[in-house]
Amino acid sequence: MARMKFICDAERCIECNGCVTACKNEHEVPWGVNRRRLVTVNDGKPGERSISVACMHCTDAPCMAVCPVDCFYKTEEGVVLHDKDLCIGCGYCFYACPFGAPQFPQAGAFGLRGKMDKCTFCAGGPEENNTEAEFKKYGRNRLAEGKLPVCAEMCSTKALLAGDGEVITSIYRQRVQRRGKGEEVWGWAMAYKTAAKTAPLGAKT
């Protein structure tokens, strides 16, 4: 079974925000929620690079570990999804996530959080695949339709790669060999090698 991952090739990303827009459009996410965002480092200086960030679907996902109602689950493809029927909007996943992926629509006065919303790797939620209910809560389930995440498919420079970790790393490796730079894949150490970071303190669940 494929293990789904994202790679953002910073040597290619031109900060067009196409992925952000594609995502918002595809899933019709509520106002104020951005499942994906662009961060530009060294803006206006030599070595400027942009990274498109969303949920990285971590191996040892901190959001899953801290959720007080245990509303997260991992699919067979390694995609971290959550059940909005169980979510209570406490914001703990937001504290725990290193990538700032969890988003909360405002649900009332004093900035009260609604149910959390985040990137689903275009894989919907616990509802029946491609139903109205699933679409309303989680957006389109493209994986169930045999398609890859819309952000990567829409990427004009193919900087954003989404799919089986082995396939996208081999594509990336070829690119690095050809251009001779940019070999460091951003975010992978944080997302897929987190066990060592929390192990000394004995956090398990």
Residues that bind another protein (CB under 8 A): 10-11, 15, 17, 20, 34, 37-43, 45-47, 49, 51, 53, 62, 65-71, 83, 85-88, 90-92, 94-100, 104, 106, 110-113, 181-182, 184, 186-187, 190, 194, 197-198, 200-205
Closest CB 2 distance from another protein, rounded Å = 25
Closest CB 203 distance from another protein, rounded Å = 4
Nearer to another protein, 101 or 143 (CB): 101
Strand partners, 160: 8
DSSP conformational letter for 103: B
Calpha distance 101→118 (Å, rounded): 6
Closest CB 34 distance from another protein, rounded Å = 5
Calpha distance 169→164 (Å, rounded): 9
Closest CB 120 distance from another protein, rounded Å = 18
Nearer to another protein, 12 or 143 (CB): 12
Nearer to another protein, 117 or 143 (CB): 117
Please tell me whether residue 173 adopts helix, strand or coil conformation.
Answer: helix
Calpha distance 40→190 (Å, rounded): 19
Candidates 12, 2, 3; CA nearest to 174 is 12
Nearer to another protein, 78 or 187 (CB): 187
Contacts of 130 (CB under 8 A, 6+ apart): 124, 140, 141, 144, 145
